[in-house]
């Protein structure tokens, strides 16, 4: 790439030039430079003693839109445009409505500068591209969390305006094994991006570094095998499921709970290794056959924004009360009220990455369950394991399929 100049040093009309390290474009990007015609640029150049167009341009004020665009590659701009629902053009939008969409998505601020949220999105995209080979260790565990933001009011406004076919929705719910509405909110937040996939050693390292180790068990369904379901969790469409404490992806800090959910229950009341306070069942206490790749070992990013279930329910009630005009049509709940009535959807709309459910029934057996009339929560010396309802897939590092747990 070369810069052509006339004998007088002026940049020739129609020639291509490369702007250097001024931060105005990526090095090597061709940019058409034209003469201003009024000699102003030439005077500046002369005054500065400069010969390069980049030094001349340094003297010219840049608009916020230009400054933001200067720092981004075309592909990056397209990525953000796509995430905000705009068509690809490779340029930051000029018109107000399109800029408003990028602002609403949190990618640029009112001055047109890229926000931390926007950088987060790009960093994550680049990281995932670089990490295409999961066997390549990245050293210390690193957060690739895609941060969300409070979009509850935005979601409510949109859903309130929808003409909802309740019977149609009910039929759709019966057909789909996942919560489509939560998936839609997750997509809007960027929570549907892929998780990290780690080797056993990488997940070990992450857990040792303070990430939370959780387990998830699934069974074959009518539509998919367990391996397909877990394959999609690693690298397919994000399809959060349903659950007692709000919809989302259910995981437990206790491996036996996950074993239960993949169809393996303890056949005795007490662990073979002996019953002691807090002593749990092990692999040798379980009966039942599990499908291949039906158990996931997951590490949850300590940077994740997690809310406790009890706090979430209180927050949800307050929010729905304060925004009564958004979630009702005066008397009855509208579509927004229905959608945000689920704690999982509400939490995702508020930008939480996961819900932590502490000491509540999780549907699995604990040592002593046969002797106890109330097997959950009341078994002596054994509290219910914490459950994490994951809403943001990017907070997870999932152990790769080649290293079964």
Partner 1 sequence: MTRDLSKRLAYAMDLGEATPDQRAQVVDAAQLVTAFEELPDLVQAMVLRWEQGPTPA
Contact 110, 66 (CB under 8 A): no
In the complex with partner 1, which residue's Cβ is closer, 65 or 169?
Answer: 169
List C-alpha distances in Å: 18 to 1, 7, 28, 32.
7, 19, 6, 9
Please, how many CA atoms are within 13 Å of residue 119, restricted to the half-sphere of its CB?
7
Phi then psi for residue 31, to 5 deg, are -140, 135
Chain centre distance of CA 241: 16
In the complex with partner 1, which residue's Cβ is closer, 100 or 172?
Answer: 172
Segment interacting with partner 1, rule: CB under 8 A, options 67-75, 85-93, 94-102, 166-174:
166-174
Residues of span 297-336 touching partner 1 by CB under 8 A = 313, 316-317, 320, 332-335
Among residues 342, 388, 392, 394, which is the contact residue for partner 1, using CB under 8 A?
342
In the complex with partner 1, which residue's Cβ is closer, 161 or 208?
Answer: 161
Among residues 42, 227, 375, 379, which is the contact residue for partner 1, using CB under 8 A?
375
Q: Is 38 in the site for partner 1 (CB under 8 A)?
A: no
Among residues 21, 133, 167, 283, which is the contact residue for partner 1, using CB under 8 A?
167
What's the rounded Cα separation, in Å, for the pair 260 and 62?
A: 61
In the complex with partner 1, which residue's Cβ is closer, 364 or 399?
Answer: 364
Q: Is 173 in the site for partner 1 (CB under 8 A)?
A: yes
Among residues 376, 379, 401, 403, which is the contact residue for partner 1, using CB under 8 A?
376
Number of residues in contact with partner 1 under rule CB under 8 A = 37
- Spatial CA neighbour of 44 closest among 58, 25, 23: 58
In the complex with partner 1, which residue's Cβ is closer, 20 or 341?
Answer: 341
In the complex with partner 1, which residue's Cβ is closer, 69 or 327?
Answer: 327
In the complex with partner 1, which residue's Cβ is closer, 143 or 387?
Answer: 387
Share in percent of the chain as helix, strand, coil (round to 5) = 35, 15, 50
In the complex with partner 1, which residue's Cβ is closer, 203 or 307?
Answer: 307
What's the rounded Cα separation, in Å, for the pair 348 and 191?
A: 9
Give the shortest CB-110-to-partner 1 separation in angstroms: 35
Give the shortest CB-175-to-partner 1 separation in angstroms: 12
Q: Is 337 in the site for partner 1 (CB under 8 A)?
A: yes
Q: Is 378 in the site for partner 1 (CB under 8 A)?
A: yes
Give the shortest CB-398-to-partner 1 separation in angstroms: 22
What's the rounded Cα separation, in Å, for the pair 181 and 177?
A: 12
List C-alpha distances in Å: 124 to 70, 181, 194, 215, 377.
20, 24, 9, 24, 40
Give the shortest CB-247-to-partner 1 separation in angstroms: 7
Give the shortest CB-90-to-partner 1 separation in angstroms: 42
What's the rounded Cα separation, in Å, for the pair 193 and 239?
A: 11
Give the shortest CB-189-to-partner 1 separation in angstroms: 20
- Spatial CA neighbour of 193 closest among 251, 138, 127, 246: 127
Among residues 305, 360, 379, 401, which is the contact residue for partner 1, using CB under 8 A?
360
263-268, long-range: CB within 8 Å, 24+ apart, which pairs?
A: 263/217, 263/219, 263/288, 263/289, 263/290, 263/291, 263/294, 264/217, 264/288, 264/289, 264/290, 265/364, 265/365, 266/365, 268/370
Residues of span 242-301 touching partner 1 by CB under 8 A = 242-245, 247, 260-261
Q: Is 211 in the site for partner 1 (CB under 8 A)?
A: no
Chain centre distance of CA 131: 17
List C-alpha distances in Å: 33 to 50, 64, 234, 311.
16, 20, 47, 58
What's the rounded Cα separation, in Å, for the pair 319 and 316?
A: 5
Please name the residue that has the structure tokens 């960027």.
Answer: 190
Give the shortest CB-399-to-partner 1 separation in angstroms: 23
Contact 351, 189 (CB under 8 A): yes
In the complex with partner 1, which residue's Cβ is closer, 146 or 159?
Answer: 159
Instruction: Give the binding site for partner 1 (CB under 8 A).
Output: 164, 166-167, 170, 173-174, 179, 242-245, 247, 260-261, 313, 316-317, 320, 332-335, 337-338, 341-343, 360-364, 374-378
């Amino acid at each position: 790439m070369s810069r052509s100049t006339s004998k007088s040093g002026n940049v020739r009309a129609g020639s291509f030039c490369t702007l250097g390290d001024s931060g105005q474009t990526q090095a090597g990007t061709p940019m058409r430079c034209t003469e201003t015609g009024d000699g102003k640029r030439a005077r500046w150049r002369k005054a500065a003693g400069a010969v390069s167009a980049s030094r001349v341009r340094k003297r010219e004020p840049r608009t916020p839109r230009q400054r933001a665009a200067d720092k981004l590659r075309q592909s990056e701009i397209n990525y953000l445009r796509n995430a905000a629902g705009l068509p690809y053009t490779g340029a930051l939008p000029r018109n107000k409505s399109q800029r408003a969409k990028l602002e609403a998505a949190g990618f640029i601020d009112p001055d047109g500068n890229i926000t931390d949220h926007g950088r987060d999105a790009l960093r994550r995209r680049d990281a995932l591209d670089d990490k295409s080979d999961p066997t390549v260790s990245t050293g210390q565990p690193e957060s690739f969390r895609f941060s969300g933001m409070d979009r509850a009011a935005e979601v409510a406004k949109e859903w309130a305006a929808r003409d909802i076919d309740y019977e149609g929705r009910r039929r759709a719910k019966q057909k789909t094994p996942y919560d489509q509405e939560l998936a839609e909110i997750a997509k809007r937040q960027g929570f549907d991006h892929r998780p990290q996939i780690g080797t056993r050693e990488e997940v070990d390292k992450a857990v040792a570094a303070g990430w939370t180790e959780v387990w998830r068990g699934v069974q074959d369904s009518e539509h998919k095998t367990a391996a397909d379901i877990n394959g999609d969790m690693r690298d397919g469409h994000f399809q959060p499921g349903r659950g007692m404490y709000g919809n989302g992806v259910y995981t437990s800090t206790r491996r036996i709970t996950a074993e239960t959910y993949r169809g393996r229950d303890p056949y005795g009341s007490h662990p073979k290794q002996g019953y002691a306070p807090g002593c749990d069942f092990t692999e040798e206490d379980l009966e039942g056959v599990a499908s291949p790749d039906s158990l996931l070992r997951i590490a949850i990013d300590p940077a994740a924004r997690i809310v406790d279930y009890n706090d979430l329910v209180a927050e949800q009630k307050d929010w729905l009360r304060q925004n009564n005009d958004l979630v009702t049509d005066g008397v009855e709940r509208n579509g927004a009220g229905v959608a945000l009535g689920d704690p999982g959807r509400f939490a995702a709309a508020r930008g939480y990455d996961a819900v932590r459910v502490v000491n509540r029934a999780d549907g699995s057996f604990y040592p002593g369950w046969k002797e106890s009339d109330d097997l959950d929560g009341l078994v002596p010396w054994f509290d219910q394991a914490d459950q994490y309802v994951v809403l943001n897939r990017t907070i997870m590092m999932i152990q790769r399929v080649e290293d079964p747990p």
